[in-house]
Structure 1
Amino acid sequence: MKIKKADLEKVAALREQYPDMDLPEIAFVGRSNVGKSSMINAMLNRKSLAKTSSTPGKTRTINFYRVNDDLRLVDLPGYGYAKVSKKEKGSWSSIINTYLNHRENLIEVILLVDARHEPTDQDKQMFEAIRQIGYSGIVIATKADKISKSKYNKSANIIAKKLGMEVKENIIFFSSTNKEYVDELWDIFEDMIEFHREEE
């Protein structure tokens, strides 16, 4: 996809703050510091549209990025950061669950995990929730430039086993640093959008 225009359209914590449901949305969820913002910047060919932070757990809102007036990429709050209170963790969980369960124009939810490490129990819970809602269970393994390509298969096996994935091919390795697989991801997203439009 050629990116002609990309903007941060809305920053929301409450359902009434969401933008209109006029465009299909693809949402990304994952642990704090897994690289969601960096991935969105790489996908949109922008350096700092999505704000990255060296402080995990800083994003406590849902960020809606409008792309070419055709779709939205949605950055959900990161989870799993230990140095926050139970109240804050509960708040983030509520923000994520409200969005996932009430957004009729949401066509896919994609889990991001770190390619270098085994997914956590929270990642597994999130993956199971995504599958139960009815989404396909695509996983993006970020920071892939930090491991050699010869280790991709081993990493994929570890991720698939931990998450209980039936289709290992649903794991996509991605690097925001060298932007590897940006085009492939856009091909996948465009197929999702096309399928969604045919279903309407």
Structure 2
Amino acid sequence: MKIKSSEFIISAVGPKQYPVDGLPEIALAGRSNVGKSSLINRLLLRRNLARTSSQPGKTQQLNYYKINEEMYFVDVPGYGYAKVSKSEREAWGRMIENYLREREELKLVIQLIDLRHPPTALDISMYEWLSHYGIPLCVVGTKADKLSRNQVAKHGRIMRDTLGMPKGAPLVLFSSETGEGRDDLWRIIAHAADIPAASPPESQHERQETEDNG
């Protein structure tokens, strides 16, 4: 995917703040500290477009990023952070559930799970909830660079089995450090958003220019 432009648009807390241009939206969901911001930055070849918070669970809104004037990434608040109050968790839960179930522009949810560990009960619940409502879903195992090649394959199988993923369901093993899985994930995103994905690979020079301009 050739990244021509990427920018932060808005932190939305409800439908009145969502963009109204009708562009397809790709949501990213996962536990706090699973690497959503790092994944967004790697996909877009930007260093700090999506900020990594020093306080897990701090993100309380849906953060919208517009890419190439043709689609949005939507960073969903991380789930499972204990220091967030019960009332806040309930409010976030209602906001997220309403967005995921009712937003017509939503074309795909990318569920991020730390590949180093088996999916948690919360990861399983999120996967089952999304599957139950028929929401298009792609699972991404993050931090693949922290494992050996043999471990990556093994942990990928564990993730599939633990989640009960049907045969053929998309699972991308991803590293924000090395870029492993980036091209595969972009193909899935482009297909879901119905945008062209057959751009030639970016050269190292183009990649550096993108980062420098960010």
TM-score bin (small chain): over 0.9
Return 181-190 or 104-113, whichever deviates more: 181-190
Moved over 4 A (4+): none
Q: Is the 8 A contact 1:157 1:168 kept in 2?
A: no
Q: CA RMSD in A?
A: 1.5
Equivalent residue letter for 2:138? I
**TM-score, normalisation: structure 2:** 0.86
Other-structure match for 1:154: 154
Return 112-121 or 181-190, whichever deviates more: 181-190
Other-structure match for 2:211: none
Instruction: Tell me how far apart the structure 2 counterparts of residues 127 and 11 of structure 1 sit (CA, whole Å).
Output: 25
- Is 2:92 aligned against 1:95? no
Unaligned runs of 5+ in 1: 196-200
Other-structure match for 1:30: 30
Q: Is the 8 A contact 1:62 1:74 kept in 2?
A: yes
**TM-score, normalisation: structure 1:** 0.92
Instruction: Tell me how far apart the structure 1 counterparts of residues 167 and 10 of structure 2 sit (CA, whole Å).
Output: 34
- 1:1-200 → structure 2 map (5 Å cutoff): 1-167=1-167, 170-194=170-194
Instruction: Tell me how far apart the structure 2 counterparts of residues 47 and 11 of structure 1 sit (CA, whole Å).
Output: 19
The SS at the match of 2:194 is helix
Unaligned runs of 5+ in 2: 196-214
Shift of 1:169: 5.7
Q: Give deviations 1:113-142, integer Å, cap 9, x for gaps.
A: 000011111111110111122134320001
Which structure would you say has the larger Rg?
2
Q: Is the 8 A contact 2:107 2:136 kept in 1?
A: no
Equivalent residue letter for 1:118? P
